[in-house]
């Protein structure tokens, strides 16, 4: 028995010296020793021929041999196939990685998501509405009198008489109030259109987020608190801001919100807002003696331009890869 | 509206510098910005022209000597109006002018020039550069000019909102400053003649056809006026307010307009021989030549001033040329009226003619100011043009001004403000606004002044109180309350998931113009929605598809060196499905376009071209991510595509996949030579898929057995048909079948291909035996052989 074990050991030693490099040959070498009909299996099968009292000793010898051979074999093949590829000397780690091309989400969408998340966190819901709407929902119901200079505030694209490309998402205010009972707490994002010459600071369309809150006791202080929270979430706690009196037909009092630009040393207008005008409530059948509210509107591109430092609004709509891939 | 600070000072004390004054007015809702900044000007002093002779070597130049307070220096000057004894703005050597222009020593046509005598343009005051600026002689030579310029020309540009007609004048702005600061508002100096004689009625008659169009018309006649230039102080004020001086008569009307905001018009009385002033709408009149020498076509919208027969002015908009004041005018008729805002608005809109007068009338002028303005003009004509007033004035006043009586509740004010504003403060603000008011127990009874036609309701007064009190003084709420609602808080939230997936696949999201050309919107079929007043020919219709915009973007990026691009856009497309507004359908879709390589050439591998199957794979992944099975692709006809496939799942069609037709690219006038693959998915059904509640299926722990079988098939046989046939038979334990490899070789026979199909088997409750799988595979082999005439490849 002893000799047989020796013989296996020697044969193994010899094979180690000429250890194959080909994976398939390694596999056949492996089965030569460790396989179902391999050398070790044969040794175990000879156990029956040994006198019973020597069997434990012989068993231990064969097991030891098996363990030793396994260790040596695994180490040798690991050295050959795994480590060989993995050692620093054999890997040119300065090669570039395999590229996985990734795309980007448009900065307007990204900014909108940020805006939505802020307002959702303070109980606002999100509603959407039509881009083509009738004059009534875009203007008249919002207290823009038919022949009033207020109509000049927004240069309008007409589809036909009394049908327009909405100039703001405020049209959805009216749809919402027509179809829902107060109280309400909504923001309305969407694409809006202005018939203005295209330049670095104005495009024929942009994206707006309109906000509307209606409840019994809503004050200008509520409006200020909400928008201060929003502006600070977007531009940081240290932002300097002011509410400046302004005019919108559908809110009264109305305000514009400016933030201070330290670099340019000037105030920059970022949104318009105000208390919902009672005439608007009357138009949708809400009793203005009971219901009060505030509304606000902001341009997403404007916020994105300030956040990212973009100075030409046209870049948003050009699809230039060198622009898109930065976001 | 440009406001001269010097002019404002006539009505209220101003202690603030222009920047602070701007801020104050902005915070009152009159958005203001300083116009000039003379502080940046350096090295410009008051100079006295000692001598001015012709330049010895140039006819058009003058050789001057200028005393700058210390020295007398030589200066070559090109201005025609330079003369001995003038006081001028003198830029010394080293001076810095607006725009960073620095004065240096020069030799001009052989004569030394040590400085420059400035024109208004060079100092940034106006565009005037015909001649040098001549200053008052009282100014002392050698003093820096900055203070003088600031005093005379400092001005603010105001952006007046449409609700504030009162903001369109120096007096109106001064009123706001007085209101905010508590300083005294000085009264306008008006001298009304008191004689009882009414000679004017013998020489002029006013006939108003419709009192709604013209509720009030006042007039006066002055004789012996001498037309000439205006005094320096008036020229300077007009200039500071951005107006050029024309002659004393025209200037007076303009001056009163800017001073108190009420438009007046001065006619040459002798050019109205009928002595009748009519105010009526256009009847048979065809056209009028206005003061700017434009011939303007008339329509029934227009309100006219006539001489009883033919038009002599567009009422409230612009005077006519025929009855205009000229150098030979001696007698004038002064008009001061109140016209209906809507009438003026419609007329001005239709003509596309917006003037200083129409801007004020359409916002609502002050009907009471008509009288004040008339007297102010009369006073100035007497003072500056030596006019003699024909005793009496005309005041046709058929319309009444309605001044509402408004009750402003304390409770409503508190509710709006969210804080307590004291009674004293409220009453003070109302008084400052000119609102007559009486405090009752819990409300104020108010009557607004006629110059604030925007104050009609309780909320209008509340707005005024909060505005003047100061938005800054309103505290910000620190908490909010909201109500429980079971409505979907954001119906488009899961589009973010779609965007994340697509950007993970390498797509860049775009936003493109929804306004496109007629050709682009018609190229894909359907009825596009046209825009009545497009910005340009390339923006006449609403987009019917997102693909043209994406193709334009690909074209743009190819030209800018990035041909490998995957793009997508999410947006609405528009179709006129039925006539009328209700027939317009807006559909939200996601459209993707693929061009170039899916992977670039790298050290690790070859570049890989994008194919239809790249796009198809992405669609499959999107459906998988939505927790849904892969869709079926059904061949479809579609204009614009060389091949097109409907993306179906069950009976629902989600969209379309295809290879863009090269002809379509050419039709759009784009230059894309390589194929573009595109797909679009309608978002309404797809978000429903994304919204579906997922259900967990227990995990099958038993091993999967896999087998490959090679079938030699006719080239015309679709692999999908083979897979579908096999799937349809519901073979026991078969959980997947799909083609793994396609091999073509002459040895297989012409017109054939060998397709390796991969099969996966799994039993739900135990480990599969070899023999179970083999028997099914045999059945499949027989099935495919008989149905598709397939041969087995060995």
The DSSP line for B723-786 is: HHHHHHTT-TTEEEEEEEEEE--GGG-TTEEEEEEEEEE--SSSPPPHHHHHHHHHHHHHHHHH
| B114 and B238 part of one domain | no
- H or E segment to which residue A299 belongs: strand A292-299
DSSP secondary structure, B11-55, as one string: TS---S-HHHHHHHHHTTT-EEEE---GGG-EEEEEEEEEEEEE-
Structure confidence at residue A66 (pLDDT):
87
Q: Is B714 helix (H, G, I), strand (E, B) or coil?
A: strand
Q: If you measure CA to CA, which chain B residue comes closest to A125?
A: B489
pLDDT for position B794: 63
For residue B366, cis peptide bond before it (omega within 30 degrees of 0): no
User: At a CB cut-off of 8 Å and minimum separation 6, what does A288 contact?
Assistant: A278, A281, A282
CA B173 – CA B181 distance, rounded (Å): 12
> What residues pair up with B660 in beta bridges, in sequence order?
B641
DSSP element (H, E) containing B264: strand B264-268
**Both B335 and B367 in a single domain?**
yes
CB-based contact B466 A253, cutoff 8 Å: yes
What average pLDDT does this structure show over A17-37? Answer: 83
For B24, the domain range is: 2-35+157-181
Phi, psi of A171 (to 5 degrees): -55, -30
Query: Is A197 an interface residue toward B (CB < 8 Å)?
Result: yes
pLDDT at B439 > cutoff 80? yes
Q: What's the token pair of residue A224?
A: 């200020």
**Least CA distance to A224: which residue of chain B?**
B476
A44-58, B247-261, B281-295, B338-352: range with lowest mean pLDDT: A44-58
Q: Are residues B322 and B456 in the same domain?
A: no
CB of B313 closer than 8 Å to CB of B239: no
Q: Residues of A numbered 212-271 whose beta carbons fall under 8 angstroms of chain B's beta carbons: which are they?
A: 215, 217, 219-222, 224-226, 228, 242-247, 252-255, 267
Q: B208 and B174 share a domain?
A: no
Is A114's pLDDT higher than 70? yes
Q: Please say if the pLDDT value at position B402 is more than 90.
A: no
Boundary of a domain, candidates B396, B417, B439: B396
Confidence at residue B548, expressed as pLDDT on a 0 to 100 scale: 95
- Angular region, B85: left φ>0, alpha ψ -120 to 50, beta rest: left
Measured CA to CA, the distance from residue A169 to residue A172 in angstroms comes to 6
Q: ipTM score of the complex?
A: 0.89
Q: Please provide residue A124's backbone torsions phi and psi, each rounded to the nearest 5 degrees.
A: -85, 145
Please report, for residues A231, A260, A268, A307, B51, the alpha-carbon distance to residue A239 in angstroms, rounded to integers and kept in the order given. 8, 7, 12, 12, 59
pLDDT at B485: 87
pLDDT over 70 at A83, yes or no: no
Is residue A10 scored above 90 in pLDDT?
no
Q: What are phi and psi of B35, to 5 degrees?
A: -90, -50
Q: Band of the pLDDT at A107, cuts 50, 70, 90?
A: very high
3-class secondary-structure state, position B677: strand
Residue B441 has pLDDT above 90, yes or no: yes
Average the pLDDT over B584-603 and give the result.
93
pLDDT given at position B37: 83
Q: Which of A166, A212, A223, A253 to mutate to test the interface with B (most CBs of B within 10 A)?
A: A253
User: Taking residues B234-251, what's their average pLDDT?
Assistant: 93
**pLDDT per position as a tens digit, B731-771:** 999 999 999 999 998 888 889 999 999 999 999 888 998 88
Q: What is the average per-residue pLDDT within B15-42?
A: 92
Rg value, chain A, Cα: 39
* CB A300 within 8 Å of CB A110: no
Chain centroid to CA B505: 37
Instruction: Tell me the three state secondary structure of residue B625.
Output: helix
Lowest-pLDDT range of A229-238, A318-327, B66-75, B499-508: B66-75
Q: Give the residue extent of every domain in chain A.
A: 2-90, 107-324
Domain count of the fold of chain B: 6
Give residue-wise pLDDT tens across range B312-353. 999 999 999 999 999 999 999 999 999 999 999 999 999 999
- Say whether pLDDT at B525 is over 80: no
- DSSP letter (8 states) at residue B167: G
For residue A216, the 8-state DSSP code is: S
Tokens coding A164: 């327009």
Report whether B724 contacts B738 (CB < 8 A).
no
Instruction: Answer whether residue B442 is part of any domain.
Output: yes
Q: Who has greater pLDDT, A36 or B403?
A: B403
A58: pLDDT strictly greater than 70: yes
State how far residue B24 is from chain A, nearest Cα, in angstroms: 10
Q: How far apart are CA B144 and CA B513, in angstroms?
A: 54
Average pLDDT of span B75-103? 90
Q: What CATH number is attached to the domain comprising B785? A: 3.30.70.380
Q: Residue B32: what pLDDT? A: 96
Higher-confidence residue: A47 or B44? Answer: B44
Q: How far is Cα A191 from Cα A169, in angstroms, rounded to an integer?
A: 8
Say which range, A91-95, B49-53, B389-393, B777-781, has the weakest mean pLDDT. Answer: A91-95
Q: How far, in Å, CA of B499 to CA of B505, rounded?
A: 10
User: Across the interface, which of A123, A195, A254 has its CB nearest the CB of B482?
Assistant: A123
Mean pLDDT throughout A161-180? 96
Q: Are residues B559 and B622 in the same domain?
A: yes
Q: Does B482 fall in a domain?
A: no
Integer Cα distance of B149 and B137 in angstroms = 15
Q: Around Cβ B542, how many Cβ atoms within 10 Å?
A: 26
* Model pLDDT, residue A92: 83
Q: Does A24 touch chain B (CB under 8 A)?
A: no
Q: What is the pLDDT of residues A272-311, one digit of tens each?
A: 999 999 999 999 999 999 999 999 999 999 999 999 999 9
Residue B501 counted as domain residue: yes
**Burial code of A304-317, b = ≥16 C-beta within 10 A, e = fewer?**
bbbeeebeebebbb
DSSP for B573-605 reads EEEE-SSSGGGEEEEEEEEEEEESEEE--BTTB
With respect to residue B552, please indicate whether it lies within any of the assigned structural domains.
Answer: yes
Q: Tell me if chain B has a CB within 8 Å of the CB of A75.
A: no
Mean pLDDT on B152-168: 94
The pLDDT of residue A172 is above 70:
yes
Measure in Å the smallest separation between the Cα of A299 and chain B Cα atoms: 15
Q: What is the pLDDT of residue A84?
A: 62
Is the distance from CB of B353 to CB of B317 less than 8 angstroms? yes
Q: Give the H or E element holding residue B377.
A: helix B369-385
A52: confidence class by pLDDT, cuts 50, 70, 90 = confident
Domain finish residue from B396, B423, B455: B396
**Do residue B508 and residue A317 have CB atoms under 8 angstroms apart?**
no
Q: What is the pLDDT of residue B87?
A: 94
CA dihedral A219, A221, A226, A232 (to 10 degrees): 160
Residue B142: name the closest of B38, B40, B74, B44 by CA. B44
- Within-domain flag for B477: no
List for chain A the helix, strand, coil content (%; round to 5).
45, 20, 30
Place of tokens 């008052």: B136
pLDDT exceeds cutoff 90 at B270: yes
Residue where the block lists tokens 């595509």: B641
Token reading at B284: 């048979």
Q: Which chain B residues are within 8 Å of A152, Cβ to Cβ? A: 162
Same domain, B310 and B244: yes
**For the ranges A67-81, B376-390, B415-429, B665-679, which has the lowest average pLDDT?**
A67-81
pLDDT in the model for residue A86? 63
Contact between residue B654 and residue B688 where contact means Cβ atoms under 8 Å apart? no
Q: Is the CB of A321 less than 8 angstroms away from the CB of B346?
A: no
Residues 6+ apart with CB under 8 A from B399: B211, B212, B214, B215, B216, B338, B367
Q: Does A194 touch chain B (CB under 8 A)?
A: no
CATH number at residue B11: 3.30.56.10
Distance CA A151, CA B348 (A): 14
pLDDT at B387: 95
Q: pLDDT at position B414, please? A: 97
The whole-number pLDDT of residue A258 equals 96
- The separation between CA B433 and the C-alpha centre of its own chain, rounded to angstroms, equals 32
B/e letters for B609-642, b = 16+ CB within 10 Å, e = fewer, are ebebebbbebbbebbeebebeebebeebebebbe
CA atoms of B80 and A2, how far apart (whole Å):
129
Specify whether the CB–CB gap between B757 and B708 falls below 8 A: yes
B269 and B391, same structural domain? yes
CATH of the domain at B271: 3.50.40.10
**Beta-ladder partners of B384:** none
- Tell me how far the alpha carbon of residue A303 is from its chain's centroid: 18
Whether the predicted pLDDT of B390 surpasses 80? yes
**CATH number at A107-324:** 3.30.930.10
Q: Would you say B274 and B307 are in contact if contact means Cβ atoms under 8 Å apart?
A: yes
pLDDT at residue B125, as a whole number: 85
Domain check: are B125 and B273 in the same one?
Answer: no
3-state SS, residue B190 = coil
Q: How far apart are alpha carbons B754 and B717 in whole angstroms?
A: 11
pLDDT tens per residue, range A207-262: 999 999 999 999 999 999 999 999 999 999 999 999 999 999 999 999 999 999 98
Give me the pLDDT at residue A13, please: 86
Q: Are residues B172 and B109 in the same domain?
A: no
Name the residue among B589, B599, B571 with its Cα closest to residue B506. Answer: B599
Q: Which of B165, B27, B171 is nearest to B454 (CA)?
A: B165
Tell me the mean pLDDT in the region B380-409: 92
- β-partners of residue B576 are B584
Res A87 pLDDT > 70: no
Contact across the interface for A319 and B567, Cβ inside 8 Å? yes
Whether residue B318 is found in the same domain as residue B373: yes
| B447 phi, psi to nearest 5 deg | -130, 110
Kindly state the DSSP code that residue A104 receives in the 8-state scheme: B
- d(CA B184, CA B196) in angstroms, rounded, equals 34
From B691, B717, B733, the end of a domain falls on B691
Cβ-contact B230, B251 below 8 angstroms:
yes
CB neighbour list of residue A1: distance below 8 Å, 6 or more residues apart: A46, A50, A54, A58, A61
Per CB-CB distance under 8 Å, the chain B contacts of A217 are 415
In a domain, B563, yes or no: yes
The pLDDT, as a whole number, for residue A85 is 62
Contact A220 B539 (CB under 8 A): no
User: What sign has the CA pseudo-torsion B196, B201, B203, B208?
Assistant: positive
Find out whether B315 and B337 touch, Cβ atoms under 8 Å: yes
Rounded to a whole number of angstroms, the distance from the CA of B104 to the nearest CA of chain A is 31
Mean pLDDT of chain B: 93
Neighbour count for residue B350 (Cβ, 10 Å): 14
Q: Identify whether B639 is part of a domain.
A: yes
Preferred mutation among A91, A98, A101 to probe B, highest tally of B CBs within 10 A: A101
Nearest Cα residue to B510 out of B541, B447, B553: B553
Q: Are residues B715 and B680 in the same domain?
A: no
Residue B486 lies in a domain: no
């Amino acid at each position: 028995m002893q000799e047989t074990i020796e013989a296996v050991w020697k044969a193994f030693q010899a094979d180690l010296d000429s250890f194959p490099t080909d994976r398939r040959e390694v596999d056949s070498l492996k089965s030569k020793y460790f396989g179902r009909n391999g050398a070790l299996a044969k040794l175990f099968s000879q156990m029956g021929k040994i006198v019973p009292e020597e069997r434990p000793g012989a068993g231990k010898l064969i097991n030891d041999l098996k363990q030793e051979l396994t260790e040596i074999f695994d180490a040798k093949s690991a050295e050959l196939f795994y480590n060989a590829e993995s050692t620093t000397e054999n890997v040119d780690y300065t090669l570039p990685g395999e590229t996985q091309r990734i795309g980007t989400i448009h900065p307007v969408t990204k900014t909108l998501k940020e805006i939505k998340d802020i307002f959702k966190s303070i109980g606002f819901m999100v509603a959407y509405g039509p881009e083509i709407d009738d004059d009534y929902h875009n203007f008249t119901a919002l207290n823009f009198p038919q022949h009033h200079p207020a109509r000049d505030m927004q240069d309008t694209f007409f589809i036909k008489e009394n049908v327009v490309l909405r100039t703001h998402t405020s049209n959805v205010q009216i749809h919402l109030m027509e179809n829902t009972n107060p109280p309400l707490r909504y923001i309305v994002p969407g694409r809006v259109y202005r018939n203005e010459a295209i330049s670095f600071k104005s495009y024929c369309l942009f994206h707006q987020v309109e906000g509307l809150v209606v409840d019994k006791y809503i004050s200008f202080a509520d409006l200020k608190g909400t928008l201060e929270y929003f502006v600070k979430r977007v531009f940081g706690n240290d932002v300097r801001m002011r509410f400046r009196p302004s005019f919108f037909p559908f809110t009264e009092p109305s305000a514009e919100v400016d933030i201070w630009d330290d670099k340019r040393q000037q105030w920059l207008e970022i949104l318009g807002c105000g208390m919902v005008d009672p005439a608007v409530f009357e138009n949708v059948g809400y009793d203005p003696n009971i219901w009060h509210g505030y509304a606000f509107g902001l341009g997403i591109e404007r916020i994105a331009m300030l956040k990212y430092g973009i100075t030409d609004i046209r870049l948003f709509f050009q699809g230039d890869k060198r622009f898109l891939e930065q976001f | 509206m440009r406001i001269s600070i010097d002019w404002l000072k006539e009505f209220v004390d101003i202690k603030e510098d222009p920047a602070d004054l701007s801020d104050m007015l902005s915070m009152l809702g009159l958005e203001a910005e300083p116009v000039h900044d003379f502080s940046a000007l350096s090295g410009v002093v008051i100079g006295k022209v000692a001598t001015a002779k012709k330049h010895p070597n140039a006819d058009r130049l003058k050789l001057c000597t200028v005393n700058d307070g210390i020295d007398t220096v030589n200066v070559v000057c090109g201005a025609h109006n330079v003369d001995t004894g003038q006081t001028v703005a003198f830029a010394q050597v080293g001076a810095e002018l607006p725009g960073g222009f620095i004065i240096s020593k020069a030799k001009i046509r052989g004569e030394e020039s040590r400085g420059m005598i400035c024109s208004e343009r060079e100092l940034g005051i106006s565009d005037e550069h015909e001649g040098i600026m001549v200053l008052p002689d009282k100014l002392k030579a050698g003093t820096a000019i900055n203070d003088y310029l600031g005093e005379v020309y400092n001005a603010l540009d105001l952006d007046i909102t449409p609700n504030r007609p009162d903001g369109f004048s120096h007096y109106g702005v001064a009123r706001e400053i007085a209101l905010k600061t508590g300083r005294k508002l000085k009264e306008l100096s008006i001298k009304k003649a008191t004689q009882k004689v009414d000679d004017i009625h013998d020489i002029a008659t006013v006939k108003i056809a419709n009192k709604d169009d013209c509720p009030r018309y006042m007039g006066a006649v002055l004789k012996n006026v001498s037309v000439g230039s205006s005094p320096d102080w008036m020229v300077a004020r007009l200039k500071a307010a951005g107006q050029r001086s024309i002659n004393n008569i025209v200037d007076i009307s303009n001056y009163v307009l800017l001073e108190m905001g009420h438009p007046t018009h001065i006619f040459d009385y002798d050019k109205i021989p009928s002595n009748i002033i009519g105010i009526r709408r256009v009847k048979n009149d065809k056209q009028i030549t206005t003061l700017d020498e434009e011939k303007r076509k008339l329509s029934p919208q227009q309100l006219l001033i006539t001489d009883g027969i033919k038009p002599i002015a567009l009422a409230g908009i612009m005077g006519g040329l025929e009855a205009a004041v000229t150098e030979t005018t001696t007698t004038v008729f002064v008009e001061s009226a109140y016209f209906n805002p809507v009438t003026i608005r419609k007329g001005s809109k239709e003509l596309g003619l917006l003037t200083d007068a129409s801007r004020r009338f359409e916002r609502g002028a002050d009907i009471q100011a008509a009288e004040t303005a008339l007297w102010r003009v009369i006073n100035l004509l007497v003072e500056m043009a030596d006019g003699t007033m024909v005793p009496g004035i005309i005041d046709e006043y058929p319309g009444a001004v309605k001044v509402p009586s408004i009750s402003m509740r304390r409770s409503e004010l508190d509710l709006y403000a969210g804080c307590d504003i004291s009674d004293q403060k409220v009453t003070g603000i109302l008084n400052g606004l000119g609102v007559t008011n009486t405090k009752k127990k819990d409300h104020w009874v108010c009557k607004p002044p006629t110059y604030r036609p925007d104050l009609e309701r309780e909320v209008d007064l509340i707005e005024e109180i909060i505005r003047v009190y100061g938005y800054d003084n309103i505290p910000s709420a620190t908490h909010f309350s909201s109500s429980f609602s079971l409505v979907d808080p954001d119906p488009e939230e899961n589009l973010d998931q779609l965007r994340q997936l697509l950007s993970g696949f390498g797509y860049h999201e775009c936003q493109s113009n929804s306004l496109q050309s007629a050709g682009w919107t018609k190229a894909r079929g359907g009825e596009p929605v046209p825009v009545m007043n497009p910005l340009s020919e390339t923006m006449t219709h609403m987009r019917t598809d997102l693909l043209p915009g994406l193709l334009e973007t690909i074209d743009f990026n190819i030209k800018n060196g990035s041909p490998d691009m995957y793009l997508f856009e999410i947006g609405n497309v528009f179709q006129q499905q039925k006539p009328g507004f209700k027939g317009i359908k807006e559909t939200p879709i996601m459209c993707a376009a693929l061009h170039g390589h899916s992977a670039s050439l790298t050290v690790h591998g070859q570049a890989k071209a994008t194919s239809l199957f790249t796009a198809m794979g992405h669609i499959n992944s999107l459906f998988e991510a939505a927790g849904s099975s892969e869709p079926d692709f059904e061949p479809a006809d579609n204009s614009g595509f060389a091949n097109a496939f409907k993306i179906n799942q069950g009976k629902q069609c989600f969209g379309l996949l295809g290879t863009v037709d090269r002809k379509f690219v050419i039709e759009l006038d784009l230059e894309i030579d390589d194929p573009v693959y595109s797909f679009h998915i309608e978002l309404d059904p797809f978000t429903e898929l994304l919204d579906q509640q997922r259900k967990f299926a227990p995990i099958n722990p038993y091993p999967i057995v896999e087998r490959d079988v090679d079938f030699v098939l006719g080239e015309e046989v679709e692999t999908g048909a083979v897979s579908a046939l096999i799937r349809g038979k519901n073979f026991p334990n078969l959980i997947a079948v799909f083609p793994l490899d396609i091999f073509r070789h002459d040895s297989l026979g012409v017109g054939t291909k060998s397709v390796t199909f991969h099969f996966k088997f799994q039993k739900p409750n135990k480990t599969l035996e070899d023999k179970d799988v083999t028997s099914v595979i045999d059945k499949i082999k027989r099935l495919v052989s008989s149905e598709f005439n397939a041969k087995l490849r060995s």
